[in-house]
Amino acid sequence: MITTQFGFSSTAAEVTAGIDLTGKRAVVTGAASSIGVETARALAGAGAEVTLAVRDTAAGEKTAGDIGGNVHVAHLDLTDLASVDAFTRNWHGPLHVLVNNAGVMACPERYTEQGWEWQFATNHLGHFSLATGLHDALAREGARIVAVTSSGHMISPVVFDDVSYAFRPYDPWGAYGQSKTANVLFAVEATRRWAQDGITANAVMPGAILTNLQRHTGGRGTGTVDPGLFKTPQQGAATSVLAATSPLLEGVGGRYPADCNEARTVDRRGEAPPLQGVARYALDPDNAARLWTYSETLLAKA
């Protein structure tokens, strides 16, 4: 188990204190708002060259100006495979940190032009295509991938027989849950496949943060969350930044940190306190390998 001196209320700036990322290059998706901004700010503040990969480049430019330092902006729409391909083709040189931060939550029923359910496509497939497209850059000098997931993964495993709700009634929370499970499984399998290339991946639970992510949910996520469990964006970015920079995670992958410490594995949702724990199915290596093959097949047919 990875344990640190940090916890629930730690901020991204506290986590990166004393960390020197000079000469390192990072990409943060969805970095024009909330924890994406604070993740990018912390990485840039530690000396990294940071690229904000965003749909709204005007918002990205505003964020880059606010952060200062060596920060760039590039267009990326995770639901548009041509956009993902353009981003990866235009990347030159090594990449040391990839933070798959962008996401959608519990949105109304919607599908991509390929027929993929929108949340699975945005939260998982777009990031999967991005990471695999950047593999060579990530492998050049060794890299860390951070997949931002959620305790919402406990709502549902990946339902491989009907990922895109072709037969089931659409459930916005079920769709969100399986997409967040997919984020964890990606980290497990990416580490297994790519550790020999010097690449590791971890899936992080940032905590409950009030952002525009909850625009479809009335601002409170699933059910009633104790107000004392909510974090600021600076606190919410802390676990992402920890996974991206901490010496304790050098060479370590396939883990699920929450509140800056590795979460314990549970077999039932009630076994862990609210917003804590990781479901065993989300760490299962067979599920992870199956998801990787399934994702490759979908992208190959696109």
Q: Which of 50, 78, 49, 36 has the alpha carbon at shortest distance from 206?
A: 36
Residue 211 pLDDT: 64
Q: In angstroms, how far is CA 170 from the centroid of its own chain?
A: 24
Residue 225 pLDDT: 63
Q: Residue 275 — φ and ψ, nearest 5°?
A: 70, 15
The answer to whether position 3 is within a domain reads no
Q: Which of 41, 53, 19, 74 has the alpha carbon at shortest distance from 232?
A: 41
For residue 36 the two structure tokens come to 């994406």
CATH of the domain at 16: 3.40.50.720
- For the chain (length 302 residues), average pLDDT per consecutive 10? 97 98 98 96 98 98 97 98 98 98 96 98 98 98 98 97 98 98 98 98 95 50 66 97 98 98 95 93 98 98 92
The answer to whether position 7 is within a domain reads no
Which of the residues are catalytic? 176
Residue 269 pLDDT: 86
Residue 245 pLDDT: 98
Domain count, the chain: 1
**What does the alpha-carbon distance between residue 169 and residue 188 come to, in Å, rounded to a whole number?**
29
Q: In angstroms, how far is CA 183 from the centroid of its own chain?
A: 7
Asked if 202 contacts 254 with a C-beta cutoff of 8 angstroms, the reply is yes
**What does the alpha-carbon distance between residue 294 and residue 292 come to, in Å, rounded to a whole number?**
5
**What does the alpha-carbon distance between residue 229 and residue 274 come to, in Å, rounded to a whole number?**
9
The answer to whether position 6 is within a domain reads no
What CA–CA distances, in Å, run from 291 to 160, 251, 252, 286, 288? Answer: 8, 23, 21, 9, 5
Q: Within a 13 Å sphere around the CA of 80, how many CA atoms are in the beta-carbon half?
A: 9
**What does the alpha-carbon distance between residue 294 and residue 302 come to, in Å, rounded to a whole number?**
13
The answer to whether position 223 is within a domain reads yes
The answer to whether position 5 is within a domain reads no
Task: Provide the domain limits for residue 290.
Answer: 12-301
The answer to whether position 265 is within a domain reads yes
Q: Where are the beta strands (DSSP E) in 171-270?
A: 199-204, 208-209, 230-231, 257-258, 261-262, 265-266
203: which DSSP letter?
A: E
For residue 201 the two structure tokens come to 């991946």
The answer to whether position 43 is within a domain reads yes
The answer to whether position 41 is within a domain reads yes
Q: Residue 111 — φ and ψ, nearest 5°?
A: -135, 150
Residue 212 pLDDT: 56
Asked if 187 contacts 214 with a C-beta cutoff of 8 angstroms, the reply is no
